[in-house]
A and B are shown apart, each in its own frame.
Chain A
C-alpha cells in the first residue's frame, strides 16, 4: 500500500510539474523570440544582424538556383536551359548586390525575383513556385 501511495504521489507531482512547465513554456515563447530560428541573436551588432539576414537570403536563393540547375539536368529537362541561365544570372546579381550594397539591396532583389517569376512558363512557374516563395519569405523577414 505504501508503494502505491508513494507512486500515486510521485505521479500527481509529475503531472502538476509538467502542467506548470508547459504553461511557462507557452508564456515564455514570445519572450524567447530572440532565440527563434527566424530572428538573429540579440547580442549581434547592426552589421552582424545585416549579415545574418543576408546569409539566410543567400541560402534561400541557393535553393532556388540549385533546384533550377538540377531540373535542367534531367532528361528531358524539366526547366529549359534559357530559364536556368536567367535564374543563375539573377542569382549571381542578387548575391553580388547583397554583398556589395549592405543595407540597400533588398528592393533590387525583390524586384528581381518578381521578374524571374514573370519570365517563367506556366509549367516552370508551378515547378519552381515553392522555391521562389521561399526566397520571398526570406526577403520578407529582413529588417
Chain B
C-alpha cells in the first residue's frame, strides 16, 4: 500500500475528531424545546410586555400630551 495512504488512514481519526469538534462549536446540539416550555415563554413574554405598557401609560396620562409633533 502507498505509504501516503497508510499515513492518511492513520491520521484520519484525529482529523475527523478535530473537524467534529469545530462543527459542534458552531452548531451546539441544544435539545428542542417542549410544548410546555414554548407556551410558558409566550405567557411570560406577554405578561412582562403588558406590564411595561401599563406602567408607561400610567405615568403619561392625557394631560401630559402637549408636546405633540415638536
Contacts and interface: CB of A to CB of B under 8 A. Distances in A.
Contacts of B11: 6, 9-10, 13
A99 B46 contact: yes
A91 B53 contact: yes
A88 interface: yes
A85 B65 contact: yes
Interface of A: 5-6, 8-10, 12-14, 17-18, 21, 40-45, 47-48, 51-52, 54-55, 58-59, 61-62, 65-66, 69, 76-77, 80-85, 88-89, 91-92, 95-96, 98-99, 121
A89 B56 CA distance: 10
Contacts of A96: 50
B41 A55 contact: yes
B29 to A, nearest CB: 10
A43 B32 contact: yes
A17 B17 CA distance: 11
B12 to A, nearest CB: 6
